[in-house]
Each structure stands twice: as structure tokens, then as C-alpha cells.
Chains A and B, each alone.
Chain A
Amino acid sequence: MADEQDNKKKYLNLLKQSFGPSLIIFALLAIGAGLAVYHFEGSSSYDRAIADALELLAFIAPRIGAAVIIAAFLQILIPREVISRLIGEKAGIKSVFMATVAGSLTPGGPLTSFPVVIALYAAGANKGALVAYITSWAMIGIQRIIVWELPLLGPDITFIRVSASMLLPIIAGILALYIPIRITLTKPPEFK
């Protein structure tokens, strides 16, 4: 199970990174913002902000568990090969459409999606499909919707935003087919 070993190593790295300098900077920013509220807006504003934040945390906490389980298991249960097969070597606008569906279904962060773009290119996908894929993943990726948008913004806003965005990756992909920029992709630098 070399694959499993590989995965474990990847997630240990992820874990190490997630407690790196970016978290410290983020925490310092939050503390700084808190001090600024206390200093410039007074203690009643500060108390109100803290109360708001605690209320929101109580709201998010029970949802985060479900969200991480969904994200993790989607990533395991939908292998990359299925996604590549969805686009295959279809031509023109049909491939743009399939790429939009595939992009939305791709779980995970840039670490999963960008290598798929290279694999698709190697498999002969056209540039419209590549643009549609990455746009769809960024805009209507199912994982980000489940993990962040639904719990924080609620179903109404999520519904409006997602339905407003559903056609956009297709538009971008079709446009990309006609934009005269050549692309050549090579194997990426190894991720360490």
C-alpha cells in the first residue's frame, strides 16, 4: 500500500504547514483587530463583537465535524481517474461541459485540482476544457460549498450564488477556445 503511505505523508505535511507561520500571522491579525476594536470603538463594541463571535462559533461547531468528514471521504471515494475519464478526449463544446461537471465534483484544494489539469492536458483535452475545469472547481466546487459556504452563509445565499454561477465556467471555457493564446504544459515541480 505505497499509495496509502504516500497519502499519510502528504497529510502529515499538510498538518505541519497548517500550524506554520501563516497561522501565527492570522492569529496576530485577529488579536490586533480585537485590540483595535477595544481601543477605537470602546469596550461595549468589543463585548458585542465577542458575543457575536461566540454565538457564531456555537453555530458552526456542530457543522464542522460533518463538513470535514464529507470533504475527506469525497476525496477518497472519487478517485482522480474517474474525473479524467469524465472529460476523456471529447472535442469542443461537449468537453467544456463535461469539464465543468468534473471541476465541480473535484474535491480538495489546489493540490488535487492543478495536477488534474496537467493530466487532462496530457490526455489531449482542449484549452477550453482546461479553463472550464479550473473555473468550475474554483466557483462551484462542491467541497468548498459544503465546508465553507453552506455553514457560514446559509442555504439561501448559497443557492442564489451557486445558481448564478453554474453557467459561467461554460462561458469561460467556450471563450477560451477562441482566444489565440497557446499553452504548453509540462510536468510540474514535485510537491514537497
Chain B
Amino acid sequence: MNTLTLVAIAMWMCALALMLVSYRRQDGSTEMGLYISLGYLAAMVPRALCAVFMASFATELLPGDLISGWLGSESGIKGILIASVAGILVPAGGVVAFPLALAMIKLGVGVPQLTAFLTSWEVFAIHRILAWEIPFLGLNFVGLRVSSSFMLPPLAGIFAATIIALLNI
């Protein structure tokens, strides 16, 4: 049995344990939880379907040699910096970013570069700043957050490269 199967089994055990905890509370939280789960499922399935097809079409369409050249594990700091900028340009949630990340792995993007890319998307996702952060928290907060976080994506990439080197993965 490979690790990925083990992870899937662990996820189901985790899910069952959480359901058991809520069931023992006897406060209607089990029903509520299942209700929300169904809502999530209905919201996710059509998006996940689109995302998966999108990712594999993207793998065919994107210029693989160019991307693995720019962002491959040999690309070092320069690749990490390029990936950090690229992450800002993904104006969508996890449903787009993670399939894209998967396509990038298939195209040979290095893990440190991928880490920088995902971190940059997580910190600077432009749609979240526009739709949530500015209306809720205001421009000053965005300014404070961006000025204290702009160097995090390259740092994440460098840390990832260090971890890979240390653990010999």
C-alpha cells in the first residue's frame, strides 16, 4: 500500500472521528455538519471537475520546456523569484490554484519553486484582497499586511530548498 492510499484512509478515519465527537454531543451538530458537508460537496464537485480537466489541458497547452527551464529545480533563486511573481497573477481560489500547481509538477517545476508560487498566491490572491480584505479590513490593513509579507514567498521557496537538502528528499 502506498503513502497516498494511507493518507486517504487516514482522512476517512479523521472524518469518522469528527462525526463521532459531534454525535456524542447530542446537540444537533451532526445533522448540521452533514448538511454543511452536502453544501460543500455540491459546491465543490462541479468546480473540481472543471479544475481537473483544466489542469490536464493546461499541461498540454503550456510550453513545458519553457516552464521547466524557468521554474525547474535547477532554476534556483531565479526560479523562486519568477514563481513568486507568477503566484500573484492567479485571481482565483484553491479550485484553480491547486490543479494549476498539479499541472506545474507534471511539467517539471521544482518543489521550492512550487512552494514559492503557492505561498505567493496564498498571501496575495488578488481576488481575495479585492472582494474581502479591502471591504472588510480597509486599505490601511492591506498596506500593512503587504508591506510585512512581500518577502515571504521567496523565503518559503528558500526554506523549502533547505528542507529538501537537509532531509535529502
Contacts and interface: CB of A to CB of B under 8 A. Distances in A.
Interface of A: 1, 4, 7-8, 11-12, 14-15, 18-19, 23, 26-27, 29-30, 33-34, 36-37, 40-41, 45-46, 48-50, 52-53, 56-57, 59-60, 62-77, 109-110, 114-115, 117-118, 127, 130-131, 134-135, 138-139, 144, 146-157, 160-161, 163-165, 167-168, 171-173, 175-176, 179, 181-185, 188-189
B7 interface: yes
Closest CB pairs A-B (n = 7): A18-B43, A164-B159, A33-B57, A73-B18, A72-B36, A69-B15, A164-B160
A71 B3 CA distance: 22
A27 B99 CA distance: 14
Interface of B: 3-4, 7-8, 11-12, 14-15, 18-19, 21-22, 28-29, 32-37, 39-61, 93-99, 101-102, 105, 111-112, 114-115, 118-119, 122-123, 125, 128, 131-133, 135-138, 140-141, 143-145, 147-149, 152, 155-157, 159-160, 162-164, 169
B140 A182 contact: yes
Contacts of A110: 128, 131-132, 136
A181 B147 CA distance: 10
A63 B132 CA distance: 29
Nearest to B3: A155
Q: Main secondary structure on chain B at its contact with chain A?
A: helix
Nearest to B135: A189
Given A68-B37, A164-B115, A189-B135, A30 B50 contact: yes
A67 B11 CA distance: 7
A50 B32 CA distance: 37
A139 B122 contact: yes
Given A23-B47, A150-B11, A53 B102 contact: no
Q: Main secondary structure on chain A at its contact with chain B?
A: helix
Contacts of A127: 144
Nearest to B167: A160
A45 B65 CA distance: 16
Contact of B39 (A14, A146, A167): A14
Contacts of A156: 3, 169
A152 B54 CA distance: 14
A76 B22 contact: yes
Given A73-B15, A149-B98, A23 B60 contact: no
